[in-house]
Amino acid sequence: MPELNDHVKINVPARADYISVIRLTVSGLAYQMGFSYNDIEDIKVALAEACNNVVSHAYKYSEAGDMIVDFHVESDRLKIVVSDEGAAFDAKKLKKEATSLHGKSLDEIDVGGLGIYLMKTLMDEIEYDTGEKGVKVALTKYLKRDEVSESEPNVHQEITQP
């Protein structure tokens, strides 16, 4: 089981065939942390989208490079940072596109804008940092524990009692 403040780092070639390895890793970590099935699926989709962005855009005009994925295990959240050293993007433009999809048809939406919007929808927090070289996208999902208070009735007991 992952422990508080564990840090797992994966460095792989920025190729699509490695995204499944990253998805399996996050699935195992999130499961062991206690995330629900639905939250794990949301995390996997958002992370795959971030990785797809690296594969599709980061090294478009240069030699192939690496994709670095950092998993930060905290008591109440899983933070995943996907980074590369490829071409940067216009963060202000993407932020505008990601927040202005309401009322648009699918034909009007650029694929990149949809990816950022999807990540924002599935995760609790998303941050991106573009430097002169490379991009970092941080995805955070908070752990929601099912806590039943002493005063709430036990559903199983209610059903089985005459």
| Residue 7 pLDDT > 60 | yes
- Report the pLDDT averaged over residues 31-53: 96
Q: Which of 16-25, 26-35, 48-57 has the lowest mean pLDDT?
A: 48-57
- Report the pLDDT averaged over residues 17-22: 96
Q: Residue 79 forms beta bridges with which residues?
A: 72, 140
| Residue 46 pLDDT > 60 | yes
What's the confidence (pLDDT) of residue 122? 96
What's the confidence (pLDDT) of residue 97? 47
For 22, how many CA atoms within 13 A lie in the half-sphere containing its CB? 31
Q: Which of 25-34, 75-84, 100-109 has the lowest mean pLDDT?
A: 100-109
pLDDT band at 133 (very low <50, low <70, confident <90, very high): confident
Task: List alpha helices for the chain, DSSP H.
Answer: 19-33, 37-53, 91-99, 111-122, 155-160
Domains of the chain: 7-160 (3.30.565.10)
Strand ranges of the sheet holding 7-13, from the earlier edge strand across to the other edge: 7-13, 66-73, 77-84, 135-142, 125-130
Could you give the CA distance from residue 44 to residue 72 in angstroms, rounded to a whole number?
Answer: 15
| Residue 68 pLDDT > 70 | yes
Q: Residue 10 forms beta bridges with which residues?
A: 69
pTM: 0.75
pLDDT band at 102 (very low <50, low <70, confident <90, very high): low
Instruction: Give every CB contact of residue 46 below 8 A, 6+ residues apart in sequence.
Output: 118, 119, 122, 123, 126, 139
As given in the structure block, the two tokens for residue 121 are: 């929808």
What's the confidence (pLDDT) of residue 89? 62
